[in-house]
Amino acid sequence: MATAPGKRSATVEEVLAAIEAARDKVMADEIKSLTKLGIPKAMAYQMISSRFHQGKSGGTEEAEPDPFESTANTSWDEIG
């Protein structure tokens, strides 16, 4: 793929750095929102980091399921 004169393409490292910076900003914003709701900062960080797969697994599999997301196909009739 040719680039237009005067424009340079980004390296893989630059793209990864931009993605990581954006992820960090989103995480910080979510932690800030949760602390405004009264959740302790450490707990908020743990909740958010588990959603962003920051755990020890390092893979694409979640270390723990998100307690706020339903993974079962449960209807309201089955719950009540």
Q: In terms of pLDDT, which residue wins out, 23 or 77?
A: 23
Q: d(Cα 29, Cα 37) in Å, to the nearest integer?
A: 13
H-helix or E-strand spanning residue 29: helix 12-36
Burial of 44 (0-12, 13-18, 19+ CB in 10 A): buried
pLDDT tens for 16-44 read 999 999 999 999 999 999 999 999 999 99
Determine if the pTM surpasses 0.85: no
